[in-house]
Structure 1
């Protein structure tokens, strides 16, 4: 039975780095993800004057509840959305002038709902070029707090950034949310804030965060559930079996609900206290599924959909259009290149069954497109990519790990 060790969660590592930097004392993060995104986040903290120490299996961060140690910094956020959204929010708690820029890909991604909310809280945030996009400058003088209204319909990261900010304000925050996507990621944030000694209350559409700061701790990072989806899907597609340790009952990440989608399609799923096993049964049923709360796994499902016995329709995933690329259209385009019939709408994609024909996948530099269509390649040998290396964003060793798994799975024809 193949056992796959998945690297640490990107979402948990980014949040933990913010919390550790803001906490009173030295925090140890156990098994953090080491990838381009998280290294970029740690580098950004260093540029802001925080000390980040590294060992092979852990990071230590000296917290500064009063904000950055320097009064001027120029931070490059690379491709990281969490870096680009969380670090300017953290910088606002200090006193100084902090400039943030990012890659061309990240510059295209929206930021305006967050910067509007920060401005409503009195933070001086200025976009240098396109309004609502990087590059930007924060002229920080601490944050008083108060009440603010936020539209988090494009990204839950806007709400997460404000929640993380709340305990660092002088009066706390009341965040009124008019729309919200990817709720499980917000639940991750709240659970992690509590692990660092802060509290959050939810009163309907209002999140209440009192002041009081964070306390340092030792925090273990779970394996990444979104990354695990490719390995679980591989088992379901081939009739094989895959076990991922470190994820199980009580895990924080909402993307683990992807295994329930595989169960609905016909796979056998065993969720234990400390591991999850998925077994393929030799069949995949078509289905209609709302993936609003687990939209990062939408490409994974799209990539195995052609092998189902009936159509697969994925709904309520409009937010996937503003990720590293327009993932909904990227999936549709690549499936069509594979000879699969696909229909799309503003927030949905429907995929008809049909044997894919190997082709070159257009990745748009998006790690999730590469990793998803690697699963398709298990039953459509010969698939290649125009940029296979973009997996370094979250899983630099993906191709080696997936190649190792491939050798232990049953070989099945395309249909």
Structure 2
């Protein structure tokens, strides 16, 4: 079968003619994969990262690490990632790091460049130049990095490596992205003094991603202290000979949402019993949407109910689930409100504007609010669903297409950012 996401033109999202009955395996977590790669680059010996996500974002991360001097090689089930090494990066000419539109690459790797002794230019797609990074660059400067961004607070920028990063204490506004905080914590073990971060401003979105970073640092051997909004990571020699990546529960979201949308059953193989991934929040949400959820040693089983109630949801901690949940709530029996996700305006695109525009364009009544969406169910019809080079919008359109004929998904290939085989897996789910 040819994956439509590799083809030019639109993809017609398939309609579910009957309730689903399918089992799905999703690829490894992007968030865990890219953190594991960064920590492997900072370790004292190679790390075998098993079952990682293989997608555009993860390849961009490996490419960035290679450019910085941490090479990797393919294995039968992942990659063997070699550390930066004691000499770090040293090159007389400027090194170029390609960011694409990968937020984790843009935010996690500049600190690593400061550990070397070369100028490193960071740049990528036009979209990455609109994503916030200024507070992180400012914090890195406070910790001893020399960065030239001509005052933009965004790519392109150059990190002038001076052989190490001093570290120390810094105040950080991470309200636009929890990745700012994670970036400082991940590099902290490699600094001279360690890093102490005191959060200022509004709370960062997605506490689960912060917990993920802390958990993975501990697994690599770091020592962490946390007191409320204060974090301290001491200098350490990191090591983790093998790291097994969990399935990506946010990528699994459209598939379990499909069960609720069709009143059918979908099983996600390998869903972990305990995890820091934000996508695990779906287990508590789906019963409120009329679905039955069972987790056992084989994975998660979701069976949709006869109807979908309207609901009010604060998705501040799990904002990446907003697109597929918003699509589902277009089929609810009553209005719904999503709040707490103003930070989605700074993702691959302004997701709130994009969702309101595209869902309304197909007949929905979806309004933006300052920090979310107000969704009033209305009759829907087919048409082109623009995706703005955002993988999560492709997934939202697929959910919509389960019950609406003629949803033409623009540029489905953009889903390759996190799941290159998504459209094949989606079509197979309906044909099981």
Structure 1 residues 68-102: Cα deviation after superposition (integer angstroms, max 9, x where no partner) = 33334111111111111111111112222111111
From 213, 216, 224, the equivalent of 1:200 is: 224
1:4 equivalent in structure 2: 24
From 232, 240, 248, the equivalent of 1:224 is: 248
> How far apart, in 2, do the equivalents of 1:407 and 1:203 lie?
51
1:176 equivalent in structure 2: 198
Aligned length: 407
1:332 equivalent in structure 2: 356
> How far apart, in 1, do the equivalents of 2:405 and 2:88 lie?
50
TM-score if structure 2 supplies the norm length? 0.92
> How far apart, in 1, do the equivalents of 2:32 and 2:373 lie?
29
1:297 equivalent in structure 2: 321
Q: Are 1:138 and 2:180 counterparts?
A: no
Q: Are 1:105 and 2:141 counterparts?
A: no
Shift of 1:55: 2.5
After superposition, where does 1:276-315 map in structure 2 within 5 Å?
A: 276-315=300-339
> How far apart, in 1, do the equivalents of 2:427 and 2:328 lie?
18
1:278 aligns to what SS in structure 2?
strand
2:330 aligns to what SS in structure 1?
helix
2:3 equivalent in structure 1: none
From 255, 261, 269, the equivalent of 1:237 is: 261
Q: Structure 1, unaligned stretches of length 5 or more?
A: 409-415
> How far apart, in 2, do the equivalents of 1:253 and 1:190 lie?
12
More displaced 10-residue stretch of structure 1: 32-41 or 270-279:
270-279
1:180 aligns to what SS in structure 2?
coil
Q: 1:79 to 1:89 in 2, by over 3 A?
A: same
Q: Are 1:119 and 2:146 counterparts?
A: no
1:219 aligns to what SS in structure 2?
strand
2:276 equivalent in structure 1: 252
1:382 equivalent in structure 2: 406
Q: Are 1:166 and 2:166 counterparts?
A: no
1:147 equivalent in structure 2: 169
1:105 aligns to what SS in structure 2?
helix
From 80, 89, 109, the equivalent of 2:102 is: 80
Structure 1 residues 217-255: Cα deviation after superposition (integer angstroms, max 9, x where no partner) = 200011111110000000111011111122232122022
Structure 1 residues 121-163: Cα deviation after superposition (integer angstroms, max 9, x where no partner) = 12101115x6111011111221111100001100000000000
More displaced 10-residue stretch of structure 1: 317-326 or 87-96:
87-96
- RMSD between aligned residues: 1.3
> How far apart, in 2, do the equivalents of 1:70 and 1:232 lie?
47
Q: Are 1:18 and 2:38 counterparts?
A: yes
Q: Are 1:355 and 2:379 counterparts?
A: yes
Q: Are 1:51 and 2:71 counterparts?
A: yes
Q: 1:305 to 1:67 in 2, by over 3 A?
A: farther
Q: Structure 2, unaligned stretches of length 5 or more?
A: 1-20
> How far apart, in 2, do the equivalents of 1:14 and 1:393 lie?
13
* C-alpha contact 2:310 2:333 (8 A) present in aligned 1: yes
* C-alpha contact 1:30 1:58 (8 A) present in aligned 2: yes
> How far apart, in 2, do the equivalents of 1:76 and 1:89 lie?
15
Q: 1:66 to 1:91 in 2, by over 3 A?
A: farther
2:11 equivalent in structure 1: none
1:412 equivalent in structure 2: none
> How far apart, in 2, do the equivalents of 1:31 and 1:146 lie?
35
Q: 1:86 to 1:67 in 2, by over 3 A?
A: farther
> How far apart, in 1, do the equivalents of 2:298 and 2:167 lie?
40
1:197 aligns to what SS in structure 2?
coil
Q: 1:239 to 1:67 in 2, by over 3 A?
A: farther
